[in-house]
Amino acid sequence: MEMHQIRYFLAVAETLNFTRAAEQCNVTQPSLTRAIQKLEEEMGGLLFSREHHNTHLTELGRLVLPHLDSIYTTNSAVLAEAKQYRSMERAPLKLGVMCTISPGRLVGFFEQLRARIPMLDLQIQDLPAKPLVEALVGGDLDVALVALPSFPERCTARPLFTERYLIACPRGHRFESMNAVPLPELDGEDYLQRVHCEFRYHFEVLKVPKRHAVNIRYHSEREDWVQAMIAAGMGCAVMPENMATLPGVVTRAIVEPEVTRTIHLVTVAGRRFTPVEQVAIRMAQTYHWDAAEPTRTSMRWEDVAVVE
C-alpha cells in the first residue's frame, strides 16, 4: 500500500467519479484506475462499485475509508511538521533545568539563544537532579542543566559555571556576625530541609567526616516557604550561592570545608543533535555565565504565598 494509492482512493470516495478524482489528483484516469485496482488487490476485494454512471463505495470500501483517511491525515501532518522544522519556521528545544538553579542565572542566556534562533520554541521542565537525568536518558528532554558530582556513563557533561553553597539564617542569628561559617558550627542548629537540595552529594565527594548534626524542623519542596520560615527565625538552611533570597534572610559562605557545585550542560552520548541543539550547546559553552549573577534580593514578601 502506497500513499498515492490512498490519496486516489480518498479522492474517488469524495467525488464518486473517477474522472473528477483524476483531475483533482492531477493524474490521468487510467493511472488512477490502475492504482485503485492494485489497492483492491491488496485489500482482497472491490472498494467501489461502478454501475454505468453510478459509482459508490462497497461494504469493504466503507469499512476501510476511516482507517485510510486517518493514515493519510497523519502522514500529511508528519510531512508538514518535517517541512516546518527544515525551514526553521519552528525550532523546538526541550530543556531540563534542575529546580534549584536560579532563574536569574539563565534568563540572559535564554535571551541570547532567542536572538540567535528567532523561531525558538523553548520548552523548560524543572525537576530535581536525578529525575532530570532520567528524563534526559529516557528521551523526554533534549539537553539538561544539572549539578551532580557524577553522571551515568551514557551522559556527556559539559561544565558551565561553579558556585558555592551558603548557609542561610535569619537576621540577628549568630552566623550573621561571621565572615564565613565553618560547617561544624551547624551542629545542634534548628534546620529547615530543602527537599531537593543536592548538597549532601557534593559534600560526600569531599570524603570529609561529618562533624555536625542539625535538628531538622521542617521539610519543603518550596524554596519560598523555606526562606519565609528562615526569615521568621525558625531555623537555617543550606542553599546555592546564586539563589535569590527574601528580605530578612542572611547568607554566609560555608567553609571547613568549602562545598561547591558545578552546573553542567548534559546530553546523551551518541544521540544525534538537531541544528537547534547544536546551536544551544555551542552558545552555552561560550556564554559569560559569571556576568549573569542574579540580584540576591529579587524576591519580595508579596511574592510569597501565605496560608492562614
Indicate which CATH number applies to the domain containing 141.
3.40.190.10
pLDDT at 21: 92
Mean pLDDT for 22-42 is 93
Whether residues 179 and 144 share a domain: the answer is no
Whether residues 279 and 146 share a domain: the answer is yes
Say how many C-beta atoms besides its own lie within 10 A of residue 128's C-beta: 16
Please identify which residue in the block is written with the cell numbers 459508490: 56
Residues in the chain: 308
Q: Which three cell numbers stand for residue 142?
A: 533534549
State the pLDDT confidence band at 85, using cuts at 50, 70 and 90. low
Q: What is the pLDDT of residues 220-234, one digit of tens each?
A: 989 899 999 999 999
State the pLDDT confidence band at 207, using cuts at 50, 70 and 90. confident
Whether residues 155 and 272 share a domain: the answer is yes
- pTM, two decimals, is 0.66
The residues pairing with 219 across neighbouring beta strands, listed in sequence order, are: 193
The H or E element spanning position 24 is helix 18-25
Whether residues 17 and 48 share a domain: the answer is yes
Residue numbers of the domain that contains 247: 161-260
Nearest to 194 by CA among 164, 161, 162, 217: 217
- Find the largest Cα–Cα distance for the chain: 100
Between 108 and 292, name the one with better pLDDT: 108
Whether residues 248 and 236 share a domain: the answer is yes
Whether residues 186 and 215 share a domain: the answer is yes
CATH number at residue 65: 1.10.10.10
CB neighbour list of residue 20: distance below 8 Å, 6 or more residues apart: none
Whether residues 18 and 57 share a domain: the answer is yes
Least confident of 4-18, 28-42, 191-205, 281-295: 281-295
The residues pairing with 250 across neighbouring beta strands, listed in sequence order, are: 169
Domain boundary among 63, 86, 109: 86
Instruction: Report the DSSP pairing between strands 237-240 and 120-127.
Output: unpaired
Contact between 158 and 264 under an 8 Å Cβ cutoff? The reply is: yes
Between 274 and 40, name the one with better pLDDT: 40
* Amino acid residing at 113: L
CA distance 169 to 294: 20
pLDDT at 308: 28
